[in-house]
Amino acid sequence: MSRPGLHDLEFEALRTALSDLPGFRAKQIWAGAYRQAAASYEEITTLPIDLRKRLETDLPFTVSDIIDETSSTDGSTIKRLHRLEDGETVESVLMLYPKRATVCVSSQVGCAIGCPFCATGRGGFARDLTPGEIVAQALHAARHVRTNDRTLTNIVFMGMGEPFLNYDAVLASVRILNDPQGFALGARSFTLSTAGVVPGIDRLASEKLQVNLAVSLHTVDDDLRNRLVPINRRYGVDELLRACHLYADRTHRRVSFEVALLDGVNDSLQHAKAMAGRLSGTLSHVNLIPYNATSKDLRASPSDRIQAFASALEGGGVPVSIRRSMGKEIEAGCGQLRARQAPD
């Protein structure tokens, strides 16, 4: 990307960029962009018209046009395809629960990890997103829920890309949206997900941010995980779990391990017992995820096997939940909407 836009800047950087203006102007712009979730300078009516016109040129709003949108029949899941300034596209998914509104955002255009069960990885990697391009996805969701007198309560970095391979931009976007004078979303309402980038986990353990960490584990068998999550060839299960345990010790925050159960691949009782043996006694929780199929070669595990897997983990002393599946009818799996828009 060429130059930073408004949503790329943390507040102190915004003040520096507007050093020729009275100090209160930066506060007005920050409040308009985040408390008000304005979609343009035109909506920040506390600013003089001539200043709005200047800012549109000097510090533009981040471009993130919605070019496709699909909704589940009950309206609880809304998937959007965002077109960025350079024409690249990324996805976000808004999930509406009775007491929560969660948006899943992307951190990269495509992904370099190459997990075989993920549509994003099959599309290859193009580039990192800027902080503003990440923030813009969350603000789109916030504006949507506000039209129904609701508030965006959670942001999860589980969309396209590997957040810890774009660490600085991801952390900047969290700080921007966490700022108490702006969007003011509490740190514990953010979840950063990684396929197992150990240096990123180690860095996050040193941050003074009480965000949640989720790790796409899927299995504790190194040979199998090498196939399911290729980055395991660089950071194996032993090293990954070492980093996760260190994170929990330093932050006193539990680590969520994400496990997508694949029929006949990683869903046996032997797999479950091995996982229980590695995680028992640690500050952790396992989320079992019914696979939202994106590959013709892989199928979701049947519900009885998912339940048996959960029971084996519980029997081994590991807290576990079976995640409610949302968005199957609209292909809410990561990368599916973007792949549908791609030229043949």
Per-residue pLDDT, averaged over 33-47, amounts to 97
Return d(Cα 8, Cα 14) in angstroms, integer.
9
Q: Which residues of 148-168 are buried (b: 16+ CB within 10 A; e: fewer)?
A: eeeebebbbbbbbbbbbbbbe
174 part of a folded domain? yes
pLDDT value for 123: 79
**pLDDT, tens digit (0-9, with 9 covering 90-100), for 137-190:** 999 999 999 999 999 999 999 999 999 999 999 999 999 999 999 999 999 999
The whole-angstrom separation of Cα 125 and Cα 115 is 12
Q: Which domain holds residue 215?
A: 68-341
Residue 110: is its pLDDT beyond 80?
yes
Average pLDDT of the residues in 48-53: 97
Q: Is the pLDDT assigned to residue 327 strictly greater than 60?
A: no
pLDDT digits (tens, 9 = 90+) for 56-71: 999 999 988 999 999 9
217 is a domain residue: yes
- Tell whether the torsion through CA atoms of 46, 48, 52 and 54 is positive or negative: negative
Domain final position from 58, 77, 102: 58
Same-domain check for residues 74 and 145: yes
Look at residue 297 in the predicted model and tell me its pLDDT: 80
Specify whether 219 is located in the same domain as 272.
yes
pLDDT-derived band at 277 (thresholds 50, 70, 90) equals very high
Domain-located, residue 24: yes
Output the CA torsion 174→178→181→182 (10° steps): 60
- Within a 13 Å sphere around the CA of 58, how many CA atoms are in the beta-carbon half? 10
Could you tell me how many helices (H) and strands (E) the chain has, helices first? Answer: 12, 12
Structural domain ending residue among the three candidates 58, 76, 97: 58
What is the C-alpha to C-alpha distance for residues 157 and 162, in angstroms, rounded to an integer?
9
Q: In terms of domains, do 252 and 132 share one?
A: yes
Name the least confident of 152-156, 238-242, 252-256, 323-327: 323-327
Closest CA to 334 of 20, 125, 150, 79: 79
CA angle centred on 152, ends 190 and 55, rounded to 5°? 90
Residue 2 confidence (pLDDT): 59
In a domain, 1, yes or no: no
63 within domain boundaries: no
Per the prediction, the chain carries an average pLDDT of: 93
> What is the structure's pLDDT at 194?
98
Residues 189-243 pLDDT 10s = 999 999 999 999 999 999 989 999 999 999 999 999 999 999 999 999 999 999 9
Residues 227 and 80 in one domain: yes
CB neighbours (10 Å) of residue 40?
A: 12
Whether residue 181 sits in one domain with residue 153: yes
Lowest mean pLDDT segment, chosen from 170-174, 260-264, 291-295 = 291-295
Residues 51 and 75 in one domain: no
Q: For 248-253, what is the mean pLDDT?
A: 95
Angle at 118 between CA 246 and CA 340, to 5 degrees: 145
Looking at the DSSP assignment, which residues form a beta bridge with residue 287? Answer: 258, 321
Tally the domains of the chain: 2
The pLDDT value given to residue 208: 85
Confidence of residue 127 (pLDDT cuts 50, 70, 90): very high
The verdict on residue 48 lying in a domain is yes
Q: Could you tell me if residue 52 is inside a domain?
A: yes
pLDDT of 332 reads: 47
pTM, two decimal places: 0.93
- Cα angle 334-339-344, degrees, rounded to a multiple of 5: 165
CA 203 – CA 269 distance, rounded (Å): 34
The reply to whether 128 and 101 lie within a common domain is: yes
Q: Are residues 148 and 254 in the same domain?
A: yes
Query: 3-class DSSP state for residue 290?
Result: strand
Band of pLDDT at residue 330, cut at 50, 70 and 90 = very low
Residues 80 and 215 placed together within one structural domain of the fold: yes
State the alpha helices, DSSP H only, in the chain: 11-17, 23-30, 49-58, 119-122, 131-146, 167-178, 198-206, 222-228, 237-251, 269-279, 303-315, 336-341
pLDDT-wise least confident of 123-132, 247-256, 285-294: 285-294
pLDDT band at 121 (very low <50, low <70, confident <90, very high): confident
C-alpha pair distances (Å), 102 with each of 193, 214, 304, 316: 14, 15, 28, 31
Clarify whether residues 257 and 324 are in a common domain.
Answer: yes
Q: What is the β-pairing status of strands 284-290 and 255-261? A: parallel
**Dist CA 160 CA 75 (whole Å):** 22
What confidence category does residue 333 fall into, taking pLDDT thresholds of 50, 70 and 90? low
Residue 132 lies in a domain: yes
Nearest to 322 by CA among 287, 285, 276: 287
Residues noted as catalytic: 91, 334
> What letter would DSSP give residue 94?
E
Q: How far apart are CA 178 and CA 9, in angstroms?
A: 13
pLDDT the model gives residue 292: 80
Closest to 121 measured CA to CA, from 166, 161, 149: 161
338 falls in which pLDDT band (50, 70, 90)? very low
Neighbour-count burial of 319, counting CB atoms closer than 10 A to its CB (0-12 exposed, 13-18 middle, 19+ buried): middle
In the numeric block, the tokens 């941050």 are attached to: 207
CATH number for the domain that contains residue 89: 3.20.20.70
Shared domain check, 258 and 130: yes
> Token pair 């952790």 is at which residue?
284
12 shares its domain with 88: no
pLDDT of residue 291: 87
Domain CATH number, residue 21: 1.10.150.530
